[in-house]
Structure 1
Amino acid sequence: MHPENIAHWAKERGPRILLVIVAALFLLLFLRLSTRRIARTVVRSRRGDRSEGTGRADTLAFSFQSAARVLIVVFGVLLVLQEAGVDIKTVLGGAAIIGVAIAFGAQDLMKDYFSGFLILLEDQYQLGDLVTISGVTGTVESVNMRVTVLRDLEGRVHFMPNGNIDHVTNRTYAWGRPVFEVPVRFDENVDRVMEVLVEVAKELSEDPAWKGATIGEPDMLGVDKFTDYGIVIKFMVKTQPDQLFPVRREMLRRIAKRFNELGIQITVPQRLIVRDGPDGEPL
């Protein structure tokens, strides 16, 4: 190619190519500086009563930043080629074929990433939440764009691809609430039993060792049902998300101890087994 032609080409198309490159670099810089801040603002506005954290926002920001960076680079390269005089229709045709092949081969992976993005955006669960996913109950140890990691009570770790998650039960979203069903004998004074249960719950909330574990006053529902072995009294206590099971265990311990002190009997189902003796008479 003649030097004069190169000089003419550079003079004719060089400024526009340079402008495209500068614009792409500016967009990449703006994306890098603003994405995390925008993501954290969105997370704070949607979080409500849940504790503020940066892990979910940073994951969202990284995912959006990666996708946007690819788009900016691809469009920037196409615009540069167009300004350089290259027929981009041929390039787009080949890229489309390659893109379809990649999309077909990685559709499950893209499904995982898209589902993970929605899980993080909607704040369905976060680290430390107790959830049930696909019949597996455990504490969320990690959540990212592709996989959610649960650890069950026995310490087993379950890796759940986000694309396979179609139903989530979050037992500790913002707060927890253990429900107590206490069976007592028919001849017990139920009003007295309910007062004792409320008193035990209030003592727990006022205990310095359990300060802040419970939220508000206990909710006494009263007599819930009659059974073959006694009367069932139901009440609930609202707790912090990570205190549901500790509060439940401590409440049961205190209820058993107080009932023993006051002579209140907790009833359980009983089974009577009758056996025939050698002469056919029941023993």
Structure 2
Amino acid sequence: MFTNFSSLDFTTIPDYLLRVITAALILAIGLFAARLLSAVVGRMVLHAAEARSSAGLSPQRAKTITGLASHLTSAVIVAFTFIIMLSLFVNSAGLLTFLGLFGAAFGIGARPLVSDYLSGLIFFFEDQYNVGEKVEIFGIEGTVIDVNLRTTILRSPSGEIYIIPNGEVRVVRNFGRGEFSLASVRVSIQSSQLDEALRILEDLVPTLCEQLPELLEVPTILSEDGALGDRVDLTVFAKAQYGQGVAARRKLLTLVHDALKQSQVSVTPPITP
């Protein structure tokens, strides 16, 4: 009924408790170091990237680099912290065996997770997209609100949040980068008024750059399908500064419509962008 306390070996208790206390201290120090050094390393990497970039870094790129560097630093420190903690309870040979078996099992069983982290490392060096840019991934269109080692987080125009594993990102459509935006206008006119419409548009086109500063070059007049019938489709092909295509097209629509209307050239169906 009663335990014979004289048979207990108290010499093992202090050593065991000492290891537990030491492990707890190592864990606390490791978590604190991860939080502190992740911020420091993030700023250091940002300064180094800015020094190498002749044109400077955009705020979005700077935020992306800082976030990825911070996440990478935290992951490395936490991993080393747990290895040190294990070394308190397992001898060196056993620890190496355990880590080898764990690494092999983890690599096979958690292959998608490993792929996500490796892709996150690739994003650290490649400038595919940054926080704040509008992109399309897997047909999902939205603004990048966070990029970490494992996932990319998008916010759609309607407000939903999409979390995409980095390992699944194959094709990215980046709306935030480009050389120009199209501002073309298409009109459909009667064949009997084709000559008059071409004359009006050819007189209008050289003046458009003065009236529309958003345009990059003088527009051209095209017949995209080349078909001739009761109606002929003409396109005023215009290139605008990147991101200004919608505004330039709206102004171009008004100018084309007014020029044709003044010369009594009917447009059927009505002008559409």
TM-score of the alignment, normalized to the shorter chain, above 0.5: yes
**1 CA distance for matches of 2:266 and 2:149?**
49
Is the CA contact 1:60–1:121 (under 8 Å) kept in the aligned structure 2?
no
Amino acid at match of 1:219: E
Residue 107 of structure 1: which of 108, 111, 127 is its match? 111
Residue 52 of structure 1: which of 54, 59, 67 is its match? 59
**2 CA distance for matches of 1:108 and 1:193?**
58
Give the match's secondary structure for 2:238: strand
Residue 248 of structure 1: which of 245, 261, 265 is its match? 245
Is the CA contact 1:131–1:138 (under 8 Å) kept in the aligned structure 2?
yes
TM-score, normalisation: structure 1: 0.63
- Residue 254 of structure 2 is matched in structure 1 by 257
- Residue 280 of structure 1 is matched in structure 2 by none
Instruction: Determine whether 1:195 maps to 2:198.
Output: no
Give the match's secondary structure for 1:142: strand
Instruction: Determine whether 1:222 maps to 2:220.
Output: yes
Q: CA deviation at 1:98?
A: 2.7
Give the match's secondary structure for 2:59: coil
**2 CA distance for matches of 1:150 and 1:62?**
20
Q: CA deviation at 1:267?
A: 4.9
- Residue 276 of structure 1 is matched in structure 2 by none
Instruction: Determine whether 1:238 maps to 2:249.
Output: no
- Give runs of aligned pairs for residues 142-221 of structure 1, distance below 5 A: 142-173=146-177, 175=178, 177-184=180-187, 185=189, 186-187=194-195, 188-189=198-199, 190-202=201-213, 205=214, 218-221=216-219
- Residue 9 of structure 1 is matched in structure 2 by none
Give the match's secondary structure for 1:158: strand
Unaligned runs of 5+ in 1: 1-20, 206-216, 271-283
Q: CA deviation at 1:139?
A: 2.4
Q: CA deviation at 1:165?
A: 0.7
- Give runs of aligned pairs for residues 23-102 of structure 1, distance below 5 A: 34-44=40-50, 45-46=52-53, 48=55, 51-53=58-60, 54-70=62-78, 72-73=80-81, 88-102=92-106
- Alpha-carbon RMSD across the aligned residues, in angstroms, is 3.8
**2 CA distance for matches of 1:66 and 1:251?**
47
**1 CA distance for matches of 2:54 and 2:67?**
15
Unaligned runs of 5+ in 2: 1-25
Q: CA deviation at 1:152?
A: 3.5
User: Percent of aligned pairs with the same residue?
Assistant: 24
Q: CA deviation at 1:51?
A: 1.8
- Residue 125 of structure 2 is matched in structure 1 by 121
**2 CA distance for matches of 1:193 and 1:62?**
56
Amino acid at match of 1:138: G
**1 CA distance for matches of 2:98 and 2:57?**
48
Give the match's secondary structure for 1:150: strand
Deviations 1:188-234 (A, max 9, x none): 323223124323322xx5xxxxxxxxxxx622352343544233221
Deviations 1:41-89 (A, max 9, x none): 34433594762344212212212312432465467679x87xxxx8522
Give the match's secondary structure for 1:220: coil
Cα separation, partners in 2 of 1:156 and 1:63, compared to 1, 3 Å:
closer
Deviations 1:231-275 (A, max 9, x none): 322121123xxxx2xx333223222322343335685669xxxxx
